[in-house]
Structure 1
């Protein structure tokens, strides 16, 4: 088997190292995105925190999913236990939902910054719609991050 960048680092599975970043950044993104969407008065303080967290969450969830697939292949070579399959299936959902939240959250930051700029006018309706979509996606990211993490921990450490 060839080693890829998502397989091992110094003999350790990459998944065991990067999964912790996903477990931290995905729920943090969900919380920050909801705060940004529903608390207009604090948006100016959260702009860059939301942007940085969104990008960190997306990269870490992607790395965790890819490295998890490599670890699954290395350990089970196509015959993974059901608990691992459930965990993997949830990760398959978490990644695109995180990507969607990242895109919409970045768009919301851009829209709100454009409205705050001197002479800035922007469609208030677009901010409201983007805020609603952000809240829905953030709830989904939070749910799938917790479920994916829990099923992975249960698969490794038992009930």
Structure 2
């Protein structure tokens, strides 16, 4: 099911979506969190973006597992499986980070209100939520960069 799309490896298509969309979605979520006046117009895009990033990470992991099975059958003699395992481990960290990001951003879209709706009793909770959104955004982007680097090393290590 997670093997090919129109004859192309699904994993390559999905992870390129992750590499392009997730940094943009992390910036969007951060803007939503740190700029109270932008919360109303960014609430739904942030929520949808969080779900999209979480779903892409899970599909990326599943399609990566399908690709690993195919590579193990077709290119076992020419594949450095230590590099592949490093990428697999990094991919699982991306899936975890994307899931945490999704939960945090969805919670933020529920808990954070525009500047006009804030009161002093909820300020500490809102500050904590803002910090969690910013941290989860950073962690997700860093894990994607590291996983992408590990994946490119596994694919291109024999080129020289």
Report the alpha carbon displacement of residue 144 of structure 1 after superposing the two structures with TM: 0.4
Question: d(CA) in 2 for partners of 1:8 and 1:47?
Answer: 34
**Contact 1:30 1:138 survives alignment (8 Å):** yes
**Contact 2:61 2:91 survives alignment (8 Å):** yes
Are 1:12 and 2:12 matched, yes or no?
no
Question: d(CA) in 1 for partners of 2:121 and 2:63?
Answer: 41
Partner of residue 45, structure 1: 41
- TM-score norm. by structure 1 comes to 0.83
Are 1:73 and 2:69 matched, yes or no?
yes
Report the alpha carbon displacement of residue 121 of structure 1 after superposing the two structures with TM: 9.2
Question: d(CA) in 1 for partners of 2:30 and 2:102?
Answer: 12
Question: d(CA) in 1 for partners of 2:68 and 2:29?
Answer: 32
Are 1:95 and 2:99 matched, yes or no?
no
SS at match of 1:127: helix
Gaps (5+ residues) in structure 1?
Answer: none
How do 1:115-134 residues align onto structure 2 when only pairs under 5 Å count? 123-134=122-133
SS at match of 1:82: helix
State the aligned residue count.
154
- TM-score norm. by structure 2 comes to 0.82
Report the alpha carbon displacement of residue 45 of structure 1 after superposing the two structures with TM: 2.2
SS at match of 1:6: coil
Partner of residue 59, structure 1: 55
Gaps (5+ residues) in structure 2?
Answer: none
Report the alpha carbon displacement of residue 90 of structure 1 after superposing the two structures with TM: 0.6
**Contact 1:114 1:121 survives alignment (8 Å):** no
Deviates more, 1:14-23 or 1:90-99: 14-23
Question: d(CA) in 2 for partners of 1:126 and 1:13?
Answer: 44
